[in-house]
């Protein structure tokens, strides 16, 4: 892969941790292409994530996600916002780490719930089976070790987006 300046920047973390918002701004600042893997899955299938999961199950969504990861990680100079569960697949993790600088956006479950309750994109997600906070805590606890093992850097996602962009730019340019 080319210099650090051209490497992909990959954002991982739970849903509502700000990956897409941060990714769009960061890509703009760097002059990189922005890719949201969830949006790519939706484009490829012609279905919203909730529709894929409802009709075919999570396994099918994960297969589609894996194909998108393989495709996008073959290119460079991109900022890639991944789905929250991308780290559940070892092959995805290997591709992300080898072909990008991976930043884990860490956010406490309570903050995630606050964001989810005000997020307009909430309806594109499959419905949650339990109360929101319990579900988020369970998912975050299950995935936290995977996020940490995948990440090259960990960022506090409760900070302002502009501040996070500057932190990433420092890493990429140092």
Round to the nearest angstrom and report the end-to-end CA distance of the chain: 17
Q: How far apart are CA 5 and CA 18, in angstroms?
A: 23
The pLDDT, as a whole number, for residue 102 is 97
Q: Is the pLDDT of residue 5 over 80?
A: no
Q: Is the pLDDT of residue 59 over 60?
A: yes
Q: What is the mean pLDDT of residues 15-31?
A: 95
pLDDT tens-digit map of 107-159: 999 999 888 888 766 555 665 566 888 888 999 999 999 999 999 999 999 99
The pLDDT, as a whole number, for residue 146 is 97
Q: Which CATH class is domain 4-165?
A: alpha beta
Instruction: Report the chain's mean pLDDT, rounded to a whole number.
Output: 91
Find all residues with CB under 8 Å of 94, minimum gap 6, and list them: none
Give per-residue burial for 126-155: e unless 16+ CB within 10 Å, then b: eeeeeeeeeebbebbeebeebbeebbeeeb
Q: Is the pLDDT of residue 27 over 50?
A: yes
Q: What is the mean pLDDT of residues 79-105?
A: 96
Q: How far apart are CA 16 and CA 119, in angstroms?
A: 8
Instruction: List Cα–Cα distances, 110 to 114, 117, 135, in angstroms.
Output: 6, 11, 11
């Amino acid at each position: 892969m080319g210099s650090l300046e051209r490497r992909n920047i990959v954002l991982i973390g739970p849903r509502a941790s700000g990956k897409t918002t941060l990714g769009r701004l960061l890509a703009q600042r760097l002059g990189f292409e922005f890719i949201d893997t969830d949006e790519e899955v939706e484009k490829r299938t012609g279905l919203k994530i909730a529709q894929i999961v409802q009709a075919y199950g999570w396994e099918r969504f994960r297969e589609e996600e894996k194909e998108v990861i393989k495709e996008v990680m073959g290119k460079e100079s991109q900022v890639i916002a991944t789905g929250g569960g991308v780290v559940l697949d070892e092959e995805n993790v290997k591709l992300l780490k080898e072909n990008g600088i991976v930043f884990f956006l860490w956010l406490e479950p309570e903050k995630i719930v606050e964001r989810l309750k005000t997020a307009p994109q909430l309806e594109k997600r499959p419905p949650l089976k339990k109360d929101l906070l319990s579900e988020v805590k369970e998912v975050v606890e299950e995935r936290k070790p995977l996020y940490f093992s995948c990440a090259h850097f960990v960022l506090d996602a409760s900070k302002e987006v502009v501040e996070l962009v500057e932190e990433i730019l420092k890493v990429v340019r140092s």
